[in-house]
Structure 1
């Protein structure tokens, strides 16, 4: 099996950047270790730490031929904190939910299992970002905070798999939080008979990105909850693994061979 079967490859980005989202299952014929399956990348969900580190090493080895050199993780806290990764890399694990870099080979990583992962790039692919947007982060401004951390205007975005509107039920207070910010978000909530609402994270994020001048937005068509054979879902199974969405600018000597 090709290593690129470890992830979905992002589309709609500048040709000189590479991005994607890992999958929960590598090979259905292999033994399954519930609830983490075969490619959990999170250390905080109760999985065997040695196995998680092995999975992370495997991912880096698979991305290396595409021009990746290091994986950069965060302790994600549903915040609006974004960090810049530069040549002076700190050895400590930072807290936050957004990463930005112009360094070649530095792979920006965000873990999700229903929340919305978004990658960004400027027009010429010389600066990229990756962020984690649950509804709280989306409402509080993680997209805006990450864009603010960039030194250039992002023009392209790709949204990885998240929970779709059909399966994402929230309370009236969540809807009110968004509508207070922008009345246009009213249309992104479908009322249910029990007084709750179905929220469209994808469309809310798309509107926020467009408002920030990011007009080329792709992705946002899959559902972590419904697509059991591809994705982890916290709402479907509260004890579960995590996918990782990533983006990087390949090293200058790399040949971006998408057939690998």
Structure 2
């Protein structure tokens, strides 16, 4: 399980990013059955979550202020983004692939969270620039919309940079990148640490999520 020091610094929040060895972060296992029933579609819909096992339909962002309810996303190379207010009153999980980033899933999630205490953001294991080659047309579209930092090399997108750009544009100042590349990060034995669609993994994907603890927020 991968964690963020930034999110760990917030009392009342528990979180984790999955990996190949633990697709569901251990910190979420005891309450995994309570997560929303959803279908991720690379869109921009952000669903408020208020009930255990809530059916939210097609959505790629999930926000809750209810203690004890986990929100999570499934990824293989896309950006798993976890958000938490500094006062531990609200959390969100966002699935941001290139489609979601281009169409504004991150601003949509922040808008759904509304006003309140400052937000801390953790960008989890995501495919790196070197591993993420796209079509020239798509690269040009991103460069035109987000500037040269989005495409630092010919036909290669930097999903992390695009996510951070959108977070900072919305006023999020505390941002941490954790976990490395889903495609090329390996352990000491040379075995892949994560599941990666680009590397050819077609099996189970990784889960990342967080929740507000009922003990520390009541």
- Matching residue of 1:181: 145
Q: Contact (CA 8 Å) 1:10, 1:18: kept in 2 or not?
A: no
Relative distance call for 1:253 and 1:214 in structure 2 (3 A) is closer
In the alignment, structure 1 residue 236 sits paired with structure 2 residue 199: yes
CA distance in 2, matches of 1:175, 1:215: 27
Question: Which of 11, 14, 18 does residue 18 from structure 1 map onto?
Answer: 14
The change in CA–CA distance for 1:142 and 1:85 in structure 2 (over 3 A counts) is same
1:199–1:249 distance in 2 versus 1, CA, 3 Å: same
Judged with a 3 Å threshold, the aligned counterparts in structure 2 of structure 1 residues 136 and 219 are, in CA distance, closer, same or farther, namely: same
3-state DSSP of counterpart to 2:207 = strand
Question: Which runs of 4 or more aligned residues in structure 1 lie more than 4 Å from their structure 2 counterparts after TM superposition?
Answer: 56-59
Distance apart, 1:59 and its partner CA: 4.9
Measured against aligned partners, the alpha-carbon deviations of 1:149-174 in whole angstroms (never above 9, x if no partner) come to 11334521001101011100012222
Aligned ranges 1:103-122 → 2 under 5 Å: 103-122=66-85
In the alignment, the residues of structure 2 paired with residue 187 and residue 91 of structure 1 have an alpha-carbon distance, to the nearest angstrom, of 38
* TM-score, normalising length: structure 2: 0.86
Match for residue 191 of structure 1? 153
What's the counterpart of residue 74 of structure 1? 38
**2:104 counterpart of 1:141:** yes
What is the CA deviation profile of residues 201-248 of structure 1, one whole-angstrom value per residue up to 9, with x for unaligned ones? 111111110110111000245000012432100000142321101011
2: CA distance, partners of 1:150 / 1:91: 18
Which of the residues 41, 59, 67 maps onto 1:96?
59
| Residues 73 and 108, structure 1, Cα contact 8 Å, conserved in 2 | no
Q: Which moved more, 1:70-79 or 1:242-251?
A: 70-79
Question: Using the alignment, how far apart are the partners of 1:169 and 1:200 within structure 2?
Answer: 10
Q: Is the 1:160–1:220 Cα contact (8 Å) retained in structure 2?
A: yes
| 1:17-56 superposed Cα distances (whole Å, 9 cap, x missing partner) | 1211112125xxxxxxxxxxxx4x6xxxxxxxxxxxxxx9
Q: CA RMSD in A?
A: 2.5
Is residue 203 of structure 1 aligned with residue 161 of structure 2? yes
Question: What are the ranges of 5 or more consecutive residues in structure 2 without an aligned counterpart?
Answer: 187-191
Structure 2 counterpart of 1:164: 128
Matches for 1:20-35 after TM superposition, within 5 Å: 20-26=16-22
What is the alpha-carbon distance in structure 2 between the residues aligned to residue 165 and residue 125 of structure 1? 33
Tell me the residue number matched to 1:51. none
Aligned to 1:34: none
